[in-house]
Amino acid sequence: MLMRRITLLFLLCASSMLSLAQADSKPRQQRPAADSKQAPPPAKKPVDGHLVPVQTITAPSLMVGLFRIPLRCDGEGNFYLREDAQARSPIHKLNAKGENLAVFDATSNPNFKVDVAGYFAPDPDGGDLYEIVFPHEITRYVFIYKSDGSFKSAIKLQPGFPFNANQLAVFPTGQLLIAGQEYDADRTAAMWPFTGIFAADGRLLKELELEDDKTLHDMAASGDTRVAVPGAPHANRAIGGGQVEVAADGNAYLMRRTNPVIFYAISPGGEVVRRFTIDPGDSRTLPDHMHVYKDRIAVWFWKTPSSDQMMEVVDLEGHHIATYDAPNPDPKATSRSLGAAFACYTENPARFVFLGATDDDRLQLVIAEPR
């Protein structure tokens, strides 16, 4: 089976990264002379267990290409994913047996010509699904679908300026957190990070200025390959590849795709409750996907170029709970035993669901537990 990785919306493939801790105003240190003693490689992070597949389920009919952020699950054990990385691909809702329950298709709304269907999130208190949509106009929308996939309504986002919406969280209060990027005065330059709280009717209630916004913007503007995308001067990997989910405390946990990983806990009213980081212990390691379960956060890391994998579980303040690795029984294999994409996380007992594909491209659900 060919290796499948999550395709990040609006991003190109990740290049080798350095630690974000080096992203300050100090000049870069010169490389040591050839006869200088080289620093030893960082020690491998201790693990509390190994993630081992305990069950594999093959979907009866769904075929998959590349997986695309986000991948979600709900409290009833259903999964939400796109079948490929096309700009307007529909969202599929599957049950725990891999059976297709519903399809959410942005192009089914006859009132809009949709260019891109983006980030989505299930309603935490109901069966609705929310999706960021880019119609054939400058305005961004959020489409709401009923649980059976039928279109329900559209929310016109009204920040007062043009912007790109990258991530979406739905608070139990009905307010929305939208994270993305807004244009600089120079439209050819790197975009500025944007995070806003929107009312249920699309009005911008509050724009947030997060602690690392300027640093991440300046890194992209200078072409720093930790966040910049070659050939795409507007883009910022840290922002565009971020993710967000709502936890049991009612706050949204917004992740920046950096090393160390940055998290912000944001309340429905737009207060930054806390900021914390998760250090994977290696500057070549980046987060691929994260999921929140009640009062815990699980972050799935990949290391380049070795494709080593690691799961870090923390509480809502960023305190370490567990680190699990995923040993590959065959280092020469072109696929991983857990599949390619981290889709769902639950506790008591700890269970992690991954998505992969068979040799004939049928979707597989791989359930793993720590041992």
Considering the domain boundaries, does residue 203 fall inside one? Answer: no
CATH of residue 276's domain is: 2.105.10
Question: What is the residue type of 350?
Answer: A
Domain for residue 84, yes or no? no
- Distances in Å between the alpha carbon of 350 and those of 49, 219, 268, 369? 12, 37, 28, 6
196 and 208 in contact (C-beta within 8 Å)?
A: yes
Tens of pLDDT, residue by residue over 40-57, are: 555 567 889 999 999 999
Q: Quote the pLDDT of residue 44.
A: 66
Question: What is the rounded CA–CA span in Å between residue 194 and residue 206?
Answer: 11
Three-state SS at 107: helix
Residue 78 within a domain: no
Does 290 have pLDDT greater than 50?
Answer: yes
103, part of any domain = no
Residue 122 in this model has a pLDDT that exceeds 90: yes
pLDDT in tens, 99-120: 999 999 999 888 889 999 999 9
Instruction: Give this prediction's pTM.
Output: 0.87
* Cα–Cα distance measured from residue 70 to residue 79, given in angstroms and rounded to the nearest whole number: 11
pLDDT digits (tens, 9 = 90+) for 237-248: 999 999 999 999
Q: What is the pLDDT of residues 246-258, one digit of tens each?
A: 999 999 999 999 9
CA distances from 41 to 250, 284, 305 (A): 40, 11, 15
What is the dihedral angle through the alpha carbons of 312, 314, 318, 319, rounded to the nearest 10 degrees? -110
Contact, 295 vs 247, CB < 8 A? yes
336 lies in a domain?
yes
| Residues 84, 88: Cα–Cα separation, whole Å | 10
Within-domain flag for 241:
no
CA distances from 290 to 53, 169, 278, 312 (A): 19, 14, 12, 9
Nearest to 170 by CA among 106, 246, 241: 246
Assign 189 a pLDDT band (cuts: 50, 70, 90): confident
Q: pLDDT class for 88, splitting at 50, 70, 90?
A: confident
Torsions phi, psi for 21 (to 5 deg): -60, -20
The answer to whether residue 335 sits within a structural domain is yes
Looking at residue 18, its pLDDT comes to 31
d(CA 277, CA 256) in angstroms, rounded, equals 10
Domains identified in the chain, total number: 1
Please indicate, yes or no, if residue 165 is contained in any of the structural domains: no
The per-residue pLDDT for range 170-183, each reduced to its tens digit, is 999 999 999 999 98
The residue among 304, 211, 310, 206 whose CA lies nearest residue 254 is: 211
Which residue range(s) make up the domain with 336?
Answer: 42-69+251-371
- How does residue 329 score in pLDDT terms, banded at 50, 70 and 90? low
343-352: average pLDDT: 94
